[in-house]
Amino acid sequence: MTERELAFLSVAEAGRKIRSRQLSPVDLIEACVARSQRIDPLLGSLVTLMHDTARKQARAAAEEIARGHWTGPLHGIPLTYKDIVATAGTRTTAGSRVLKDWIPDRDAAVVSKLRAAGAITLGKAALSEFTFAGGSGPNDFVKAPRNPWNRSFEAGGSSNGSAVGVAAGLALASIGSDSGGSIRIPAAFCGVVGLKPTYGRVTRTGVVPLSYSMDHLGPITRSVEDAALLLDAMCGADPSDRTTLSAPPPAQPFASALKRPVRGFRVGLLSSYMEGVGIDEETSTAFDVARRILGSLGMSLREVKAPHIAYASAAGYNTIMRVEAFEHHFAMLRDHRAEYGQAFRNIARGGLITAHEYLRAQKARALICTEIRSVFDEVDLIALPVTATSPGGGGYAQEGTDVKVRKGALSHGAAYTAPFNLTGEPAISIPCGFNRAGVPIGLQLVARAFREDTLLAAAHAYERATEWHTRQPQDAA
């Protein structure tokens, strides 16, 4: 196989070849290393290269497999981690000058879990500073990666380096974080799969926080099957992260849920909310086609109502997230203000929010959670776009992540994603088309809390009925 063919293998395909000894983890790592050295200088998806570490782990994996000790489908698979995920002995910067010299003494819990499953650590992925999306500024420590489909544009935020690297064939998968859409939006803009699990499904121990009550960790991959395989290895209770203790263990591996029939699944549409947010013509067309495909698979589509979801971005992103971020950053803002870049203005605003405003936001959150739970009494899934528009589409600013659509009062770039960080339901972005600039468009599916099995089954069925996920960007030149 050529270097490109190796680097664009799915996790599942590579895992099968490694198990059958058709492929050595060493050869797979060398393909990814060569591509990252040649292509990433033009994309900027990686903050820290860990090629020596990856080669050492690949040789160890090859020796283990040769002795008959195969740990599972992730054994020998190269991954990157968003650079808020602590890696022992390797700097973890959170994309900020404030932490540019921080070298953790232990791995984050999710790294330990994936290493136990045999995964190889290839590098640390770029991100918006401290995961606060909003474009990059001239003073930022890490510049926003370029979109591999069209380098005139960025790739959203904040897990942009993770999505760019996976889409460009620099790693087979990556672990990102999502506090308002930060896995799903970059995944949509890069034409890959981004899964935000249920709040509490995956431990966050050893991860630099943004918002305690809205942060989620999840995989960015090239297929739904790959996302399921990574989630199987990542999930589980962690006494050090008490939010995980309420997560029921899955009855069976998530990868096995892909075989579940989807005929009869009920899919809810929030058309009145979409009218308020607004949507550009290309995204609207792609979403309409995606809805018809869901229907052709035997799913029934119906309108549902969640009248107060319109307050989700204001309550969650603008209030709760900023208050929680400010609380975490207070001492660092006090002592290292000059070292912050673009994130400073976003985080510092949290110190200006009053207790009255915070309480009102929490009341709105409770109301929205109740409404969404009621929606899931009627349906199994909700279908929405990931964003109102995509880079190069109608009205999208070339730099930054806010969208400006001709109609709609709620033009925030995370208006379609942030509600489900507020409520905690699992959500996935899967490719559903391209815009006039050649940049991908994403379809979002949302399921009831802790029903990733339903979510993955539906997403996999849609993926098999389409070809968007099979397309690859041309190598940067």
Catalytic residues: 82, 158, 182
Q: What's at 170, amino acid-wise?
A: L
Nearest-angstrom CA–CA distance, 319 and 328: 14
CA angle, 416 as apex, 411 and 418 as ends, to 5°? 100
- Cβ(173)–Cβ(224) under 8 Å? no
Residue 46: helix, strand or coil by DSSP? strand
Task: Mention every residue, 6+ apart, whose C-beta is less than 8 A from residue 183.
Answer: 159, 162, 176, 177, 194, 195, 196, 216, 218, 220, 429
- Cβ(416)–Cβ(350) under 8 Å? no
CA angle, 79 as apex, 73 and 255 as ends, to 5°? 35
Pick from 411, 306, 321: nearest CA to 369? 306
Cα distances (angstroms) measured from residue 194 to each of 19, 225, 339, 406, 447: 26, 12, 31, 28, 14
Half-sphere exposure of 187 (CA within 13 A, CB side): 36
Q: What phi, psi does 181 have (nearest 5°)?
A: 140, 10
Q: What's at 278, amino acid-wise?
A: G
Nearest-angstrom CA–CA distance, 432 and 189: 11
- Cβ(93)–Cβ(142) under 8 Å? yes
- Cβ(167)–Cβ(149) under 8 Å? yes
Helices (H), 297-398: 312, 321-336, 343-348, 355-378
Tokens coding 309: 């979801």
Pick from 49, 386, 405: nearest CA to 196? 386
Tallying the residues shown for the chain, one arrives at: 477
Tokens coding 109: 């819990």
Tokens coding 311: 């307050």
- Cβ(432)–Cβ(468) under 8 Å? yes
- Cβ(278)–Cβ(406) under 8 Å? yes
Pick from 261, 160, 267: nearest CA to 220? 160
Which residues are paired to 187 by β-bridges?
none
